Structure 1
Amino acid sequence: MESKTSILITCLIFATAFQLLLPVSEASGCGSTTTSDLKIGYYKDKCAKAESIVKSTVSYHVKNNPGLGAGLIRLFFHDCFVRGCDASVLLDPTPENNQTEKQAIPNFPSLRGFEVIDAAKAELEKECKGTVSCADIIALAARDATYLLGNISYEIPTGRLDGRVTNSTEALLNLPPPFFNLTELVASFARKGLSTAEMVALSGSHSIGRSHCSSFTSRLYPTIDPTMDPKFGASLRKLCPDPQNTTTDGVVPQDFVTPGKLDIQYYKNVESLTALFFSDWSLLTSTETRNQVETYTKEPEKFNQDFINAMVKMGNIEVLTGSPGEVRGPTCRFVN
């Protein structure tokens, strides 16, 4: 029987190869980026407590379960890279569409934080019904999680609308898998209007959260990949058995040193060959990206600012600010 790892890799390689044949607009399922209607404090006159409600909701959940903070930041990334930042990742399957982004291999069962968005939406509907979009809730929640986990504070423009389409295949086509090399990573981010430097900065989110073993066991078996520190690889083997001999897909921290903190430790891990993914190691394969990694290990404030700028820019990807966008209500799980 084929292992979970081999099935994952086969599916993603197929999807990635197909993506490279598509024009950008077809691969994303959306049009071009629109930012003119987004602004800081968009809800000030529409729902004055909107941002504070999201912040308090995120704070409550993350303090009780820090792992949800990492989940919310990843949720933002996985939303924006598929059809733009339109909350399509939140939509549940229906009889008319039982293949949603939420069910796609890159998202299920690893994507987390849906209950936090649900809770924030419920409170916002009580305060100002039908006003705050689910797409903005994701963006604000990621911002607030970034502060809670990394003490990194920033403002993000709001005014996004929610999309009405979700498709699991589009998640496969647009989300870069953990086995990508640098050329593939750069191309994947470039298709979303993000630079190589912004890709490296956003990769810093791998300093938080967890990973299923199936995302990197190809680096452990049958032999430990020479791009990984052998002692680190041996320790991972104790936590992640050979997928040929088990049906269990374990979970480990993405950063074993400071697992609950968004910081520069990830880049130190990349340098020491103790990062989980092949895509992490690939940052060392060009002078440009390797120098950026080295800079971040020495200048935490440089990383913080670059991460902020990249998060804000990512939040502008192919946003909906008019038709066919909507503000979902009373839940983010279904279109109106």
Structure 2
Amino acid sequence: MAAMSALLTSLLILSNFSLGTSLSSNYYAKTCPNVESVIRKAVRDAATRDKKVPAALLRMHFHDCFIRGCDASVLLDSKGKNTAEKDGPPNVSLHAFYVIDNAKKAVEAACPGIVSCADILALAARDAVVLGSKRSMFLMFLVQSGGPSWDVPKGRKDGRTSKASETIQLPAPTFNISQLQQSFAHRGLSLEDLVALSGGHTLGFSHCSSFKNRIHNFNSTTDVDPSIHPSFAASLRSTCLAKNNAKNAGVPMDPSSTSFDNTYYKLIFQQKALFSSDKALLDFPKSKNLAMKFASSKDAFTKAFIKSMIKMSSITGGQEVRKDCKVVN
């Protein structure tokens, strides 16, 4: 019975996805030729005021694509008796929705009724990575100067369904390598995609709740996960336990958490990864070798990340082009 239940769950998840075979990098070449520059400006303006924006947009895109495909369902507001994805437990810490709303308003002013919210979010996530690759104080003028970038296939449609109950499908920070592989495989993503996309953890901030399982009551015999470096564990405990798990308590994902780089992989091998799911990459020979490859070469990581981002963001599932990203037409 358990095996049958797992199979039915897998089929249900897979039924929400389709390959984005109709996507094209020049989809808006004639209908909205300036769409990318309009979105880039909205992302850049927000990021110059709030350095947390790039990480927020990248995470938002990931959370969108893993539920019903990249259809902007994560942007929909709860309405009536329906609780939407953004209000599901794994998504309550998502933020910077206003950046997509601002980009949508600007795009609608230039090309009304043409560009989907799903495409805006995919492009904003790409721009977030480019912004995250800049260390210069002149960031606002250097958005396209040398950082990792790529042509985003476009032509996604926006979904009409958003259910908080479906957010349990998102891979959790407590997952082991088998659970991670299964979650990614359900979406047509490989082990290399899993390891490469995990590198997105190089940006941003984590609340203590996402890694508290490793620093307190780890198991019946030890309080702290023995696979964490002792001094790192002590630092995390000092930050989190001393604040009594205050709602906003947490730490940066890595010491260079506003820069998109390969520090994340180096930290894994130093036993300074935050999540169980991060450490899990070392528990399988192939994923460990890939993590070592990316730790040794930022260029190898960047190329793999771009390839996997394009693959993930090409999972589609929408039906319309919303006028307002927060509500269906």
Q: Does the residue aligned with 2:206 lie in a helix, a strand or coil?
A: strand
Work out which of the residue numbers 185, 197, 204 in structure 2 matches 1:190: 185
**Displacement of 1:79 after TM fit?**
0.3
Instruction: Show CA shifts across 1:94-139 (max 9, x none).
Output: 1142x1100011100x112201000000101111111110000010
Q: Scaled by the length of structure 1, what TM-score is found?
A: 0.88
Name the CA distance, whole Å, in 2 between partners of 1:80 and 1:184. 18
**Displacement of 1:275 after TM fit?**
0.9
Q: Which amino acid aligns with 2:228?
A: M
Work out which of the residue numbers 101, 104, 110 in structure 1 matches 2:85: 101
Name the CA distance, whole Å, in 2 between partners of 1:248 and 1:113. 18
Judge conservation of contact 1:149–1:261 (CA < 8 Å) in 2.
yes
Name the CA distance, whole Å, in 2 between partners of 1:197 and 1:289. 7
Matches within 5 A, 1:162-181: 162-172=158-168, 174-181=169-176
Name the CA distance, whole Å, in 1 between partners of 2:310 and 2:200. 14
Taking a change above 3 Å as real, the CA distance of residues 19 and 261 of structure 1, as seen in their structure-2 partners, is farther
Name the CA distance, whole Å, in 2 between partners of 1:302 and 1:196. 15
Partner of 1:290 in structure 2?
A: 288
Instruction: Show CA shifts across 1:38-79 (max 9, x none).
Output: 000211101111111001111111122121100101111000
Q: Does the residue aligned with 1:153 lie in a helix, a strand or coil?
A: coil
Name the CA distance, whole Å, in 2 between partners of 1:207 and 1:127. 34
Name the CA distance, whole Å, in 1 between partners of 2:263 and 2:78. 38
Name the CA distance, whole Å, in 1 between partners of 2:173 and 2:237. 18
Judge conservation of contact 1:29–1:170 (CA < 8 Å) in 2.
no
Partner of 1:73 in structure 2?
A: 58
Judge conservation of contact 1:181–1:279 (CA < 8 Å) in 2.
yes
Matches within 5 A, 1:80-91: 80-91=65-76
**Displacement of 1:293 after TM fit?**
1.0
Taking a change above 3 Å as real, the CA distance of residues 246 and 209 of structure 1, as seen in their structure-2 partners, is closer
Partner of 1:24 in structure 2?
A: 10
Work out which of the residue numbers 96, 101, 109 in structure 2 matches 1:118: 101
Taking a change above 3 Å as real, the CA distance of residues 239 and 20 of structure 1, as seen in their structure-2 partners, is farther
Judge conservation of contact 2:126–2:149 (CA < 8 Å) in 1.
yes
Unaligned runs of 5+ in 1: 1-16
Q: Does the residue aligned with 2:279 lie in a helix, a strand or coil?
A: helix
Judge conservation of contact 1:28–1:170 (CA < 8 Å) in 2.
no
**Displacement of 1:252 after TM fit?**
1.4
Q: Which amino acid aligns with 1:296?
A: F
Taking a change above 3 Å as real, the CA distance of residues 19 and 268 of structure 1, as seen in their structure-2 partners, is farther
Percent identity of paired positions between Structure 1 and Structure 2: 42
Name the CA distance, whole Å, in 1 between partners of 2:214 and 2:250. 15
**Displacement of 1:19 after TM fit?**
8.2
Judge conservation of contact 2:177–2:280 (CA < 8 Å) in 1.
yes
The question of 1:252 aligning with 2:256 is answered no
Matches within 5 A, 1:1-336: 20=6, 22-27=8-13, 30=16, 32-97=17-82, 99-108=83-92, 110-150=93-133, 151-172=147-168, 174-222=169-217, 223-241=223-241, 245-246=244-245, 248-255=247-254, 257-320=255-318, 325-329=319-323, 331-336=324-329
Give the superposed CA RMSD.
Answer: 1.8
Judge conservation of contact 1:19–1:27 (CA < 8 Å) in 2.
no
Judge conservation of contact 1:221–1:242 (CA < 8 Å) in 2.
no
Judge conservation of contact 1:87–1:135 (CA < 8 Å) in 2.
yes
Judge conservation of contact 1:28–1:82 (CA < 8 Å) in 2.
no
**Displacement of 1:18 after TM fit?**
11
Q: Scaled by the length of structure 2, what TM-score is found?
A: 0.90
Judge conservation of contact 2:208–2:245 (CA < 8 Å) in 1.
no
- Deviates further, 185-194 or 34-43: 34-43
Name the CA distance, whole Å, in 2 between partners of 1:134 and 1:249. 29
Taking a change above 3 Å as real, the CA distance of residues 27 and 319 of structure 1, as seen in their structure-2 partners, is closer
Judge conservation of contact 2:209–2:245 (CA < 8 Å) in 1.
no
Judge conservation of contact 1:27–1:170 (CA < 8 Å) in 2.
no
**Displacement of 1:37 after TM fit?**
1.3
Judge conservation of contact 1:80–1:86 (CA < 8 Å) in 2.
yes
Judge conservation of contact 2:156–2:316 (CA < 8 Å) in 1.
no
